[in-house]
Amino acid sequence: GLAEAMTWLAFRMKEQYGLQVDLQAKESFNQLDHHMRMLLFQSIRELLFNVVKHAGVLEAKVALELKDGRGCITIVDQGKGFEAEKVMKDVKIAHGLLIVQDRLNLLGCDFKVNSKPGKGTQVVIDLPIEEVPT
């Protein structure tokens, strides 16, 4: 599942870049198909790499959970942040983020970047899965 892959990724980010990833996997998203899991894995890796490259901190939090019956993945850092609204309109600067956003949107995920200078960055990926009622 995705949770296992994220545990491995957290270990690799620490080993390669010294990035401490606090992984909170309340949900492993085993119901996602392989293609979707791969895409999410690559997207989260890209987002964590952005923390290393731009945030100026070596700590990030990744949460996998169900919220209101929908899948939700959150990546948060307390780094230097940026003007999210401006940056996301600028293809040159937000290139990597926009590629991630496009890919995720194609698969029905919602991708939101919340950030302000000096306030860190929060990325929320909303997954198109409905909770199976027990």
| 37 against 134, higher pLDDT | 37
- Residue that the structure tokens 């199976």 belong to: 132
Q: What is the pLDDT of residue 76?
A: 98
Residue range 29-54: mean pLDDT, rounded: 93
Q: What is the pLDDT of residue 111?
A: 96
Whole-prediction pTM: 0.93
pLDDT at position 30 over 90: no
DSSP strand pairing (20-25 vs 70-77): unpaired
Q: What is the pLDDT of residue 128?
A: 83
What pLDDT, in 10s, does the model give residues 55-113?
999 999 999 999 887 899 999 999 999 999 999 999 998 989 999 999 999 999 999 99
Q: What is the pLDDT of residue 133?
A: 57
End-to-end CA distance of the chain: 20
Phi-psi region of 69 (alpha: psi -120 to 50; beta: other; left: phi over 0): left
Residue range 43-60: mean pLDDT, rounded: 96
